[in-house]
Structure 1
Amino acid sequence: MPERLEPAMAQVQEILFVYNAKSGMLHGLMDLIHKTVSPSTYPCKLCEITYGMTGMRKEWKRYVHSLGYPVTFLHLDELAPGLPSTRYPCAIARTNTGYEELISAEEMNRLTTLTELMAALSRQIKPLS
């Protein structure tokens, strides 16, 4: 009887976080003002949750480094060709078989704390590990 081959499991090669914002110092300053003055209309929940007034939150930075995968943060004007068409902000895994959305924009926009974001990401990465 021929040996039965199991389908290859997707293996995470990189985690991409895509902000719903443009890159650059001027855009960063405008975003900081926007999320301070009118947080309810600020369009990037990922930025809102992971950044404070002085930069990336230390707890988030430690968590990202603990994931054990290369991590890339992208802005709307830095998107690489080949990324799946989706809404932003979101988290995407680049795997050996393609891309998998880990946290959709809809889910990201429902999150309210850094703890919720880290828990959501951990739940999604675990099955791919």
Structure 2
Amino acid sequence: MTVTKAISDEQIKYMIDLAEQGKDNAYVPYSKYPVGASIMTGDGEYFNGCNVENASFGLTNCAERTAIFKAVSESKKTNIKLLAVIADSENFASPCGACRQVIMEFGQDAQIILANKSKEYRIVSSEDLLPGAFTKNELE
């Protein structure tokens, strides 16, 4: 397991609260499983996201990718430093495989806060989520 850098309790709470705000905007008429995410970029800016479902399920977008794509669309391509994800579940919310790959593209050194509906959490690194990830380094 990768060693994570210290994050203050205040920062963790703030990130989880932002992710919960994103969750409140989720469009989930099919799964009824709202998910929210928040990222902090390397320059200290925050972006929220929510999952957005579609009747054609393959076109659904996860909260984590929504937040990351919002940052990229605002020219904030700096590395993600923190990402929080929360869902209405007793279990810790965890990014799907596609989100893990996108997280590695923009935050190879990111710390990920996985939270549940009670705002309990655990912290992992992006490397923990996707060890041996395919990255842009393989294309050089």
- Asked if these proteins are the same fold (TM beyond 0.5), I'd say no
Q: TM-score, normalised by structure 2?
A: 0.22
Question: Whose Rg is larger?
Answer: 1
Q: TM-score, normalised by structure 1?
A: 0.23
Answer 1 or 2: which has greater helix percent.
1
Which of 1 and 2 has higher RCO (CA within 8 Å, sep 6+)? 1
